[in-house]
């Protein structure tokens, strides 16, 4: 039987990026102790008040069809949460930020359009581009520059076919955050070349250093700016599948039509819970954010001075990029050996793009004390592999590793 070409456009190398993660899950099911840091799923429970609101809504019988755009109460809460001069008519609620991104691209871009994005980029972006047929134009961000997206490099990438710019800040996988001055320059580029600016802000609530400028408040951007956000990371609600799009009212109308064809509205009890998440000052949210900050600091401190592994200190998000080029191994080979020999699952940076070659992504999804133990395993593995490359004393390295593990277990 024949399948649509869409099936090819949403598959490929990017879809295979999670191989290490799937291997780690299989090993864990077999009973092996595995430190799973390959996916950005918060290890915290959803705040109790949020869960209680969902249960109460269910018991009230809120189990029927809902507003295609999302309940008015939730859209009003999103407006207040944004802190910007927008209206509920500009908001559409979706089944998570991934769905929001997919729906937005379907409504803005099509075959032949070019969309600029920083490389490395989150692996699911490939499928989103492929689904609508748009051509991704990747602008490399270098680890030596702190993975900063240079507006001048973006300007050089613009062609007559360019239709949009996709930003992700804080950035996945690097944790880099865009500065206000850079965002302003990019906004001016979008206005000068009549481009859409799509901002993926799912990690905005987990910014530790600097400020989080909003593109919605920049002059002249109201008609061309789209912001995507969710509660998955900030409120440990990844499994609730609740996200949203903020954009011009006409885009909201198009998204509502797409929702009619695809989602037909979200569960009311989940939207009731999301209202509580956005409207109440929940102490659990502040504690989670501080825990991620402490975990980031612990990882960077433990690996500081390690001759074979360098940690890039992220400004925000749930990940730390580790530079393992000094080992002489590729990111894929290093990640595989680390999983096989140390039971630690990290995602190879190559999955996100060539600029992340020689790097692995570590998720801050375990307690700080456990992360310290994991980092020492990573350092031991890197030292051992470096010795292999140099033809050094591998047995001595293995002995050091055993002693180190005993000290921290």
- Which CATH number is 86's domain given? 3.40.640.10
Task: Give the pLDDT band (50/70/90) at residue 88.
Answer: very high
What digits encode the pLDDT tens for the residues 197-235? 999 999 999 999 888 889 998 999 999 999 999 999 999
Model confidence pLDDT, tens digit, residues 352-362: 999 999 999 99
Domain encompassing residue 193: 48-279
User: Domain for residue 372, yes or no?
Assistant: yes
Domain final residue, candidates 227, 244, 279: 279
- How do residues 307-350 score in pLDDT, each as one tens digit? 999 999 999 999 999 999 999 999 999 999 999 999 999 999 98
The mean pLDDT of 292-304, rounded to a whole number, is: 97
Residue 166 and residue 221 share a domain: yes
Based on the fold, state whether residues 53 and 83 are members of the same structural domain. yes
Report whether pLDDT(87) > 60.
yes
Asked whether residue 1 is domain-assigned, the answer is no
Identify the band that residue 18 occupies on the pLDDT scale cut at 50, 70 and 90: confident
Domain shared by 321 and 380, yes or no:
yes
Whether 347 is in a domain gets the answer yes
Looking at 279, 294, 319, the residue that finishes a domain is: 279
Flag whether 80 is in a domain.
Answer: yes
Map the chain to HEC letters.
CCCCCHHHHCCCHHHHHHHHHHHHHHHHHCCCCCEECCCCCCCCCCCHHHHHHHHHHHHCCCCCCCCCCCCHHHHHHHHHHHCCCCCHHHEEEECHHHHHHHHHHHHHCCCCCEEEEEECCCCCHHHHHHHHCCEEEEEECCHHHCCCCCHHHHHHHCCCCEEEEEEECCCCCCCCCCCHHHHHHHHHHHHHCCCEEEEECCCHHHECCCCCCCHHHCCCCCCCEEEEEECCCCCCCHHHCCEEEECCHHHHHHHHHHHHHHCCCCCHHHHHHHHHHHHCCCHHHHHHHHHHHHHHHHHHHHHCCCCCCEEECCCECCEEEEECHHHCCCHHHHHHHHHHHHCEECEEHHHHCHHHCCEEEEECCCCHHHHHHHHHHHHHHHHHHHHHHHCCCHHHHHHHHHHHHHHHC
| pLDDT value at 276 more than 90 | yes
Domain count within the chain: 2
Q: Mean pLDDT throughout 141-167?
A: 97
Q: Is the pLDDT of residue 387 over 50?
A: yes
Q: What is the pLDDT of residue 389?
A: 86
Q: What is the pLDDT of residue 401?
A: 44
Is residue 222 located within the same domain as residue 100?
yes
Predicted pLDDT at 111: 96
Same-domain pairing of 12 and 113 = no
- Which CATH number goes with the domain that contains 289? 3.90.1150.10
Amino acid 110: pLDDT: 96
pLDDT value for 14: 62
Query: Is the model's pLDDT at 407 over the cut of 50?
Result: no
Same domain, 162 and 271: yes
Task: Tell me: do 337 and 385 sit in the same domain.
Answer: yes
Say whether both 369 and 321 belong to one domain.
Answer: yes
Same structural domain for residues 172 and 295?
no
Residue after which a domain boundary falls, among 234, 257, 279: 279
Average pLDDT over the chain reads 93
Q: How confident is the model at residue 399 (pLDDT cuts 50, 70, 90)?
A: very low
Q: Could you report the per-residue pLDDT of 95-140, keeping only the tens digit for each?
A: 999 999 999 999 999 999 999 999 999 989 999 999 999 999 999 9
Residue 77 lies in a domain: yes
Q: How confident is the model at residue 25 (pLDDT cuts 50, 70, 90)?
A: very high
Instruction: Let me know whether 261 and 377 are in one domain.
Output: no
Q: What is the pLDDT of residue 369?
A: 96
Is the model's pLDDT at 396 over the cut of 80? no
* Whether residues 234 and 351 fall in one domain: no
Q: Is residue 330 part of a domain?
A: yes
Residues 16 and 122 in one domain: no
Residue 257's pLDDT band (cuts 50, 70, 90): very high
The answer to whether residue 139 sits within a structural domain is: yes
């Amino acid at each position: 039987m024949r399948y649509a070409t869409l099936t090819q456009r949403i598959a490929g190398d990017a879809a295979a990026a999670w191989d290490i993660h799937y291997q780690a899950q299989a090993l864990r099911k077999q009973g092996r102790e595995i430190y799973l840091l390959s996916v950005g799923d918060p290890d915290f429970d959803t705040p109790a008040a949020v869960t209680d609101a969902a249960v109460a809504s269910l018991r009230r019988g809120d189990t029927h069809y809902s507003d295609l755009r999302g309940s008015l109460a939730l859209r009003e809460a999103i407006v207040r949460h944004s802190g910007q001069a927008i209206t509920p008519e500009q908001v559409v609620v979706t089944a998570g930020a991934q769905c929001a991104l997919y729906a937005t691209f379907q409504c803005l871009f099509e075959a032949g359009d070019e969309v600029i994005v920083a490389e490395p980029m989150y692996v699911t972006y490939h499928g989103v581009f492929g689904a609508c047929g748009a051509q991704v134009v990747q602008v490399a961000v270098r680890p030596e520059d702190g993975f900063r997206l240079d507006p001048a490099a973006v300007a050089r990438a613009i062609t007559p076919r360019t239709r949009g710019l996709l930003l992700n800040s804080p950035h996945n996988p690097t944790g880099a955050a865009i500065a206000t001055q850079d965002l302003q320059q990019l906004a001016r580029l979008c206005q000068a070349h009549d481009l859409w600016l799509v901002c993926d802000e799912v990690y905005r609530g987990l910014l530790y250093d600097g400020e989080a400028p909003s593109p919605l408040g920049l002059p002249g951007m109201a008609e061309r700016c789209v912001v995507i956000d969710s509660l998955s990371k900030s409120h440990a609600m990844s499994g609730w599948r609740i996200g949203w799009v903020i954009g011009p009212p006409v885009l909201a109308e198009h998204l509502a039509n797409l929702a009619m064809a695809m989602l037909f509205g979200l569960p009311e009890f989940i939207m009731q819970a999301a209202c509580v998440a956005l409207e109440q000052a929940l102490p659990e949210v502040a504690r989670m954010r501080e825990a991620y900050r402490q975990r980031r600091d612990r990882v960077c401190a433990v690996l500081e001075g390690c001759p074979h592994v360098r940690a890039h200190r992220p400004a925000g998000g749930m990940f730390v990029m580790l530079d393992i080029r000094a080992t002489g191994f590729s990111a894929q080979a290093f990640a595989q050996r680390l999983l096989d020999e140390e039971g630690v699952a990290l995602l190879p940076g190559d999955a996100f793009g060539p600029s992340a070659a020689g790097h692995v992504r570590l998720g801050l999804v375990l307690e700080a004390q456990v992360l310290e133990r994991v980092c020492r395993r990573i350092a031991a593995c890197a030292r051992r592999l470096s010795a292999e490359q140099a033809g050094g004393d591998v047995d001595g390295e293995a002995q050091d590793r055993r002693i180190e593990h005993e000290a921290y277990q």
